[in-house]
Every structure is written in structure tokens, then in C-alpha cells.
């Protein structure tokens, strides 16, 4: 049986870039899969925003991230990569993180070399641990891996510049990482420099409205980055729509004389059909001999 880790390996070996979309729960994962994304990523930032309502500063625990990722992995057939912050501690914690993320069926994970409080360099005002300390974590991760197809990605941020990023990328691959995720470079020139000179498999991300450049997909891919992560796209859209819907509904309630407005979108029944209602009706019918009655839609 082909595992999701094996499927991710095959995608990595295939020519051309992989574009991964950030998700935070089963519903966002299903939407991303239905849109055609071949790899999904459970990011710590949007998980922190959605799950506990806190900034992305390392509040999310190992248990919370594993539980979130488990629900996402089980909801889709697409390979899922899990953002595991700094491995949630020292090499001992990293070992347990690898085991837990493997057990839920994820295709891979990444751990980062940020110092606490964790602060992504695309947002700013953070720092990094020594590269030797990070290399120890990577070696622990590789030693803990039981499935050789499980992908281990080392993330490094740009707080110390492109040249240091190149040095760290090489060191992390030498320690056993399959790929290095580079984050926080401020311009496409530096992104190209790292991609050209590092000489190791690389990934990067696109995060609109942050310090990082948000470039055309083909331009970023041509630099040589294998996986290009799009982080907050779905969450930013959801945030915008929820704020608009809440504001308009409150205005209409306060007005009181007109039927409340509704944003364009699917009906509740259409939403349920999109996540498997028809298939579940077949199962219900096989047990009870009748179809589950559906509510009639208002015209």
C-alpha cells in the first residue's frame, strides 16, 4: 500500500515545483484538495490563530499540533506536511515529535532553528539558535524516523542574512535533512542567491503582506525551489469574509426592517454534499433501508 509519505517522495522526485496550500482543519483541507493542490501543510501560525486565538509565538503545544494534524490527515487523501515549530524542545522532544507525526499518517514535517519566543522572520523581531544545536535536532529526527519515506525538512530563517542561510542549509542537509525550507529573505535577488549557491534541495514560502517578496509562481519555481508553500491564503480569505458577514448581519439586525443580506456561497446542504453527504446516505440506506431525508432548500 502506498503511504502518503511515499506519495510525497514521488512528487518530490517528479520534475517541476510542488505548490502546497496552508490549512488548519479538515474543512479547509478538503477545500484545498478539491481545488487541486497535491500537497497540504498544517502551519503553526494559522493553527494558533484558529485553534487557540493567539499569535504565532510558540503557544501551540506538541499535543495540540498533533491532534490538529491528525484530523487533517484523516480528512484527505493528499499528502500532508506538518509544521512542528522547533520540534517542541530539545532532541528528546524532537524524537517524540517524529514518532507522533509519523503515527498519524502525515507525509512529513519541518522543524525550525528559531529561538524562543518563536517569531517567523517574515514577520520580524526574532532570533535563531546556534546551527550546531539545530543540527543535533535534525540528527535526532532522522534517527527517530521509522518510515524511510517520511520527509524531514529543516527550516532556517533569514535573521543572519543570505550567506548564513546558505551555510546553515548545507549543515542541516549534512545532518540528514531531506530538504531545507528558507524563510524571510527580503528580495528575489537573495532568494535566487540561496537557491543557486546552497547546492541542496530547497523549499520556500510565499506569504503575502509580509516582509518576504510575493512573486509570480513561475519566477520563484525557476530559481530551483522544489516546494513552494502558500501559507495564509485560505485563512486571509476566511478572515475577510467572516468580518464582512458579521458586520453586515449586525447592521441588518439593527435596521430590523429588511431581510438580512447573505454573502455569496453554498447552502448548508451544498456544504454537506461537498464533504461526503451523498456517500454517507448510501451507507445509511444500506443499514436502515431508507435514505436520510434532506431539508428542502428555500427558493
177-231 pLDDT, tens per residue? 999 999 999 999 999 999 999 999 999 999 888 889 998 999 999 999 999 999 9
* Residue of 40, 46, 72, 120 marked active site: 120
pTM of the predicted model, to two decimals?
Answer: 0.93
Q: Say yes or no to pLDDT of 299 above 50.
A: no
Q: Verify whether residue 120 is a known catalytic residue.
A: yes
> What gap in Å lies between CA 5 and CA 12, rounded to an integer?
11
Q: What DSSP state is assigned to residue 148?
A: T
Tens digit of each residue's pLDDT (9 = 90 or more) over 256-295:
988 999 889 999 999 999 999 999 989 888 888 755 555 5
- What's the chain's average pLDDT? 94
CA 71 to chain centre: 13
Instruction: Name all domains of the chain by residue range, CATH numbers in brackets.
Output: 4-232 (3.20.20.60), 238-288 (no CATH)
* Contact assessment for residue 20 and residue 37, using Cβ atoms and an 8 Å cutoff: yes
Helix%, strand%, coil% for the chain, nearest 5: 45, 15, 40
Read off the pLDDT band of 125 (50, 70, 90).
confident
Kindly provide the residue ranges of all beta strands, DSSP E only, lying in 17-86, ordered along the sequence: 18-23, 39-42, 80-83
pLDDT of residue 297: 54
Residue 77 grid cell: 487523501
pLDDT of residue 123: 84
Range with top average pLDDT, 66-75, 117-126, 256-265? 66-75
Q: Among residues 207, 246, 200, which one has the least CA distance to residue 229?
A: 207
Element (H, E) at 274: helix 268-274
Judging by DSSP bridges, how do beta strands 80-83 and 151-157 pair with one another?
unpaired
Amino acid at each position: 500500500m502506498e503511504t502518503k509519505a511515499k506519495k510525497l517522495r514521488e512528487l518530490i522526485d517528479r520534475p517541476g515545483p510542488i505548490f502546497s496550500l496552508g490549512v488548519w482543519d479538515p474543512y479547509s483541507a478538503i477545500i484545498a484538495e478539491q481545488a487541486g493542490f497535491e500537497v497540504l501543510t498544517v502551519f503553526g501560525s494559522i493553527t494558533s490563530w484558529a485553534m487557540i486565538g493567539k499569535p504565532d509565538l510558540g503557544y501551540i503545544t506538541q499535543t495540540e499540533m498533533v491532534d490538529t494534524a491528525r484530523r487533517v490527515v484523516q480528512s484527505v487523501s493528499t499528502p500532508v506536511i506538518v509544521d512542528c515549530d522547533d520540534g517542541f524542545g530539545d532532541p528528546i522532544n524532537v524524537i517524540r515529535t517524529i514518532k507522533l507525526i509519523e503515527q498519524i499518517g502525515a507525509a512529513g514535517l519541518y522543524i525550525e532553528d528559531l529561538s524562543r519566543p518563536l517569531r517567523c522572520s517574515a514577520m520580524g523581531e526574532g532570533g535563531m539558535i546556534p546551527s550546531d544545536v539545530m543540527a543535533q535536532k535534525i540528527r535526532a529526527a532522522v534517527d527517530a524516523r521509522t518510515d524511510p519515506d517520511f520527509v524531514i525538512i529543516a527550516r532556517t530563517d533569514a535573521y543572519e542574512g543570505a550567506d548564513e542561510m546558505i551555510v546553515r542549509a548545507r549543515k542541516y542537509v549534512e545532518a540528514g535533512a531531506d530538504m531545507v525550507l528558507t524563510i524571510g529573505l527580503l528580495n528575489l535577488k537573495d532568494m535566487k542567491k540561496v537557491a543557486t549557491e546552497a547546492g541542496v534541495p530547497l523549499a520556500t514560502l510565499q506569504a503575502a503582506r509580509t516582509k518576504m517578496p510575493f512573486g509570480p509562481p513561475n519566477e520563484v519555481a525557476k530559481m530551483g525551489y522544489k516546494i513552494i508553500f502558500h501559507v495564509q491564503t485560505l485563512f486571509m480569505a476566511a478572515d475577510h469574509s467572516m468580518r464582512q458577514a458579521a458586520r453586515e448581519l449586525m447592521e441588518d439586525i439593527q435596521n430590523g426592517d429588511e431581510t438580512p443580506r447573505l454573502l455569496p456561497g453554498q447552502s448548508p446542504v451544498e456544504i454537506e454534499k461537498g464533504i461526503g453527504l451523498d456517500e454517507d446516505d448510501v451507507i445509511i440506506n444500506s443499514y436502515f433501508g431508507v435514505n436520510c431525508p434532506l431539508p428542502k432548500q428555500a427558493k
